[in-house]
Amino acid sequence: MNTEKLGFIGLGNMGHPMAKNLEKAGFPLSVYNRTSEKAADFKAESTVYESISDLVNNSDIIFTMVTNDDAAKDVYQQILKEDLTGKLFVDMSTISQEMSKELSDAVSIEEGNFIDAPVAGSTKPAAEGTLIIMVGGDEKDVKRALPYLEKLGKKVKHLGEHGKGLAAKISINYFLAMIYEGLAETVLLSDTLGVDRKDMLEIINESASGSGATKVKTPLLLEDNFTAAFALDLMLKDIRLAKNAGANLPLGNQNLAIYEKASKNGFGKEDVIGIINYLKKDI
């Protein structure tokens, strides 16, 4: 087994199960989370550090999985205080390409290496190790990270130079945002027309309009349980990333406006399919 020591920063809804998969695979692992309680169940098998500096100094490859540009900048400001020579940073966050390039350049100056490796999939694929991982960066760095990425996802796709992983992630979430709003509108329409919701969702999922995206949200729609696997506010962040990257397109602009209104009306912390509750207010 490769003896490189792994570090994982960010044990949120996605990061926690991803780090657990690295732990289960038997790799030497250390973890850090700002809220230390989320790291408690790593203490038996892995090392839990109380500071980012300790984790970086005791790791060869460091995975980061945080919420947004501000969180990534904060984490890497602390990372950049350490000796990064020869270390590889695998940022799996969904952040702007501009921020990612800024972080990559800063790591490079300190003689470290950096790849962007955001993921497609929510908490269930994260736990099952069946994410799709979209990677941008130098081939040698991707090859170095590959044995570990393969424990996190069912497919690792190297798309080219740094930033290309994020380009693909922003694009796929742009599409998903439309799917979820379309699914919510369709369910509301069928509700209004008197079709049993379970029947309608079965028809959707068994027809050409069904997909992994519709199937994974079906239980939430049937149970009226919108506990966030992927919060609406996170989807809103990703639609804005697409807009800022140049997606000045009709459906995207309309979608952005709807998600912004849903967030302002208090639905941002619900799962993204909770957009149905905002839409319901207007019918």
**Which positions are catalytic?**
169
Six token digits for residue 201: 């969702």
**β pairing state of 131-136 and 153-160:** parallel
Six token digits for residue 229: 């696997």
CA 23/CA 31 separation, integer angstroms: 10
- Phi/psi for 34 (5° steps) reads -55, -40
Cβ(197)–Cβ(187) below 8 Å: yes
CA 165/CA 113 separation, integer angstroms: 16
Tell me the one-letter amino acid at 211.
S
Residue 70 burial class via C-beta count within 10 angstroms: exposed 0-12, middle 13-18, buried 19 and up: exposed
